[in-house]
Chains A and B, each alone.
Chain A
Amino acid sequence: MSSTEDSPMTSAETKKPNYYLIWFLLFVLTMVEVGLAYVSALPRNFLILILLALALWKATLVAMYYMHLKYERLRLILVATAPIPLAIILVLGILLEYAQ
């Protein structure tokens, strides 16, 4: 394997997020999620929406800052996010079927 093939991208090297701050945010969001799951006073559907939003927020933080997607070139971002619209269509399609 040549050294050039092994060489990583330089784009992620130049900008550095505060990894510990992201970690702390992920920790706090997880604690909020677990706490909310035990709050039975909230309407069930509202609670599900909040929990899903928090989970998506955490997943986005991991993808953007730990996987460095925020600092990648647009072409790679398009490759990485290509399945997301398909995933949304699949999940929404199923949910809409049950909503009818």
Chain B
Amino acid sequence: MSQSTNEAVVMTGGVSAEPGMRVYNQKLGMWVFLASEVMFFTGLIGAYIILRFGTDAWALPGIPLEEGGTPLAIQLTALNTFLLICSSVTMVKAFAAIEHGDQKGLRLFLVLTVLLGATFVGVQVFEYIQLAHEGFLPRCAEELAAVVPNCNLFGSTFYTMTGFHGTHVSIGVLCLIWVTVKAFRGAYSRENHGGVEVVGLYWHFVDLVWIILFTIVYLI
């Protein structure tokens, strides 16, 4: 072991880490990936701003649909946002549990996180089905296009942004299922739980992105 590596081990309380960053590789890799994801979603938001501010009118919350209101079910999505926030707290509690070697707590909170995440995806699919049934699509039904300002543009941006986020959530749920299965097999311990932390970082990021998207797409 080189001198610089030795120094890094000492600086992290006995945990081996990259000499430069003093963070283990998987965690550093996840943070770099998340940094790239920030730019990905910023690109989507930038495109949304261009398309929205380039038009003269947009569907707004708080007014009836016939007067140019939004066809989106804000209360339902607010509930879904609450579910995702709850899944973030169960995820961080799972991490806190295994930090203390609490296997039972880890498994319980991971299962809860998977259930909450899957419910979020389920509610989003339900929302899509309802909206499609009402004619709100990237190409809106004629009767809806007559009352919703720039309905096709609104629909396109809505499905693009929420669709990409929903894909991220779905991938996150699959990763969480994998981590949960490993947890039930006893793969994690107080000394070795990097997998829980790395997947947790991804999950919290998905929550963070939704917090921004919910405000931009649904409330503004």
Residues of chain A whose beta carbon lies under 8 Å from any beta carbon of chain B: 2-10, 12-13, 16, 19-20, 22-23, 26-27, 30-31, 33-34, 36-40, 48, 51-52, 54-56, 58-59, 62-63, 65-67, 73, 75-76, 79-80, 82-84, 86-87, 90-91, 94-95, 98
Given A5-B16, A51-B215, A79-B32, verify A66-B91 contact (CB < 8 Å): yes
Do A39 and B31 have beta carbons less than 8 Å apart?
A: no
- New contact pairs (10) apart from A37-B220, A38-B61, A98-B54, CB-CB < 8 Å: A6-B26, A8-B196, A26-B211, A34-B219, A36-B219, A62-B204, A62-B211, A75-B22, A79-B32, A83-B36
Write out the residue numbers on chain A whose beta carbons fall within 8 Å of the beta carbon of B39: 83, 86-87
Q: Is B46 an interface residue (CB 8 A)?
A: yes
B125 beta carbon closer than 8 Å to chain A: no
Q: Which B residues between 81 and 122 are near A, CB-CB below 8 angstroms?
A: 81-82, 85-86, 88-89, 91-93, 96, 99
CA distance A9 to B193 in the complex (A): 10
**Do A19 and B89 touch (CB < 8 A)?**
yes
How distant is A18 from chain B, measured CB to nearest CB, in Å? 11
B191 beta carbon closer than 8 Å to chain A: yes
User: Which residues from A are CB-within-8-Å of B132?
Assistant: none
Asked if residues A83 and B35 are in contact (CB atoms below 8 Å), the reply is yes
Contact status of A10 and B61, CB under 8 A, knowing A80-B31, A91-B45 = no
Complex interface: chain B residues within 8 A of A36 (CB): 219
Total number of B residues with any Cβ neighbor in A under 8 Å: 68
Interface 1/0 per residue, B1-35 and A, CB below 8 Å: 00000000000111111001111111110011011
Given A10-B12, A54-B215, A62-B208, A79 and B82 touching (CB < 8 A)?
no
Identify 22 residue pairs between A and B in the complex whose beta-carbon atoms are under 8 Å apart, listed by A's number.
A6-B26, A6-B192, A7-B15, A7-B192, A7-B194, A8-B193, A9-B17, A9-B24, A10-B15, A19-B89, A23-B85, A30-B85, A51-B219, A54-B215, A55-B211, A75-B22, A79-B28, A80-B31, A80-B34, A86-B42, A87-B42, A91-B45
- Which one of B24, B61, B75, B214 lies within 8 Å of A8 (CB-CB)? B24
Closest residue of chain B to A36 (Cβ to Cβ) is B219
> How far, in whole Å, are A40 and B63 apart by their CA atoms in the complex?
8
